[in-house]
Structure 1
Amino acid sequence: MKLFKCQACGHLLYFENRACERCVHRLGYLPDASTLSALEPDGGTTWRALAQSEGADRFCSNAEFDACNWLVPATSGEAYCTACRHNGVIPDPSVPANLAAWRVMELAKHRLFYTLLQLRLPLVTRAEDPEHGLVFEFLAEPPANDGPKVMTGHDEGLITIALSEANDLERERRRTAMGEPYRTLLGHFRHEVGHHYWDLLVRDGGRLAACRAVFGNEREDYGEALQRHYRTGAPADWQERFVSAYATTHPWEDFAETWAHYLHIIDTIEMAEAFGIRVGPPLDDSGTLSADFGVDADSGADIGQVVEDWLPLTFALNSLNRCMGQPDLYPFIINPPVVEKLGFIHGLVRDAGR
């Protein structure tokens, strides 16, 4: 993620801002230009974006519910923006609790789409590809004892996210119950979309043999592997070869967990670079905790360079969190086998982006 600036007054902005806090200009995100723009009314429902010299835009239809601040060209026949046209099922917005949770869901989903677009990954809707197009269903739990719980998961491009994951208390309860050091809504989106890109870039992209050499054989019975994981847990030495305990479940989950961490790393390093952050503690005589960021999808850096920047940054961020009495921001260890897995995904993403 990068920083944005109001074109009307120069005030720095968050990606999610709807209006500039200094000059109160309304703001909208232009996905094709990858920028958040101050807007001027252009008559009726259209706006003129100060970040571009020509053309008018209108807001995505989900702006009606304050669930989206992305723009669509006024000449487009699309009612929804690049991110929202991948929605299949949304919760009933007439229910206040549903609307509040859905807005939280959309904040995370739009951050996901920012990164997918930056990496130039393929994005095909369900309307364009009824069998494998990417589509999201945000489902509310049924009334107590009136049907099974909603399970977050992926099936051939269909990603289901339980609406309850937008509730901080419920998500923390599940994180604790499942022994997870990290559980966020954005993390869910990044993990589940990893399954989708395994289908597209590995299975359908002719990379099965190469992927098996790194992650293992995905033909292992998934249901049995899942039961074994919840019955016995991860192996005692899992940190030597996997990025998380859940990654040990099955090669599919190892890929999806590693994919999610790759997006964590790329997005956070981009933000560190946007802030001009440099890491170089004077006490570090060896220089192993020094980092000068500048890695992005087009930098040409290999995965070793990416990780060399990432580790000092996480050491610094974890140290800052501890000063506030908070858990480590990034409570994970990246050993050489994990670097190899990240490198495989780095290559997939680059090839797809080309």
Structure 2
Amino acid sequence: MEKIVKDSLHKIYFPYKERSNINVILQQDTDTGSGELTCYDVAPGIQITYNNLKMDSCYRPLIPQQDFLQIDHCLEGCYEFEQEKGNVSFLGEGDLSVSSLCKGKQLFVGSRIPLKKYRGITVLLEIEEAQKTLDTGFQQGDICLKQIRDTLCADGRSLLIKSKHEIDHIFSELYRVDERIRLPYFWIKVIELLLFLSLLDASYVKKPKQFSEDVSKGTQQAYQYIIENPFSKMTISQLAEMVHVAESSMKRCFTSIAGNSIGTFMKIKRMEAAAELLVSEPQLSICEVAETAGYENQSKFSAAFKSVMGVTPFAYRCKSW
């Protein structure tokens, strides 16, 4: 999601697909999947992009020619950033990051999409031009982009905010805005977002958690193993040993990638697989499905199933018939 505004942005990641007087749609198909960015020029120096990526990576080296403030919100999936020393950080579901892209400097040396799924929004501001727009279009707000950048992104740091009410409120409405009022509504939401950020001080600055490349890759292997083997009886400790990662490191990294603890994620995938069995194998009793899922006690299985799926196994099966 390393971008620069105007036409130069539209040529970095994807070749043109379509352009109208409102937006630019950029698309690319690769061996690892496909991705689409829908970019809206909200006002001079201000752009909003909807990211819908289903691929391993869309990284392109970028050294910006102006100073930018980049704000990213993740709705679904996960985005991995690689820094110069080989450490990686993650933007997960509900997270907001604020980064400074400085003229002539490369912020990231690589990026990946670990789950091959990322949906989110990027608000990109070319600081000099966007400031002129704010000064003429919203003088009463007294918003200073350089002050926001210097407060939240000093010394190359990034602000990372985990999902919270103020952020969720701002972005949830952006994901479902009626297209008939989209552009003027974008302007209102950008102002709301910048006003919120202008209230934050240095105490809010939190450097995203960093993980070594080995920890990141090993944790992603563990993630894939759970997906492919939802009924596995392997413990978390055994899983960490299998992927050659310290258990504590794997747990922290897994939460950053998946948005849930590894234990919760294993339970969810086990119940989802059990739900598929209830429908696809009607000859199996609920007790047999419970045993397949690793539960000797049917009542405990039913309680776990309901906590994930919202209904009992029996109700789920009846509803699906």
TM-score range, shorter chain: under 0.3
TM-score under structure 2 length normalisation: 0.27
Instruction: Give the structure with higher Rg (CA).
Output: 2
Give me the TM-score of the superposition, normalised by structure 1.
0.25
Q: Which has the higher strand share?
A: 2
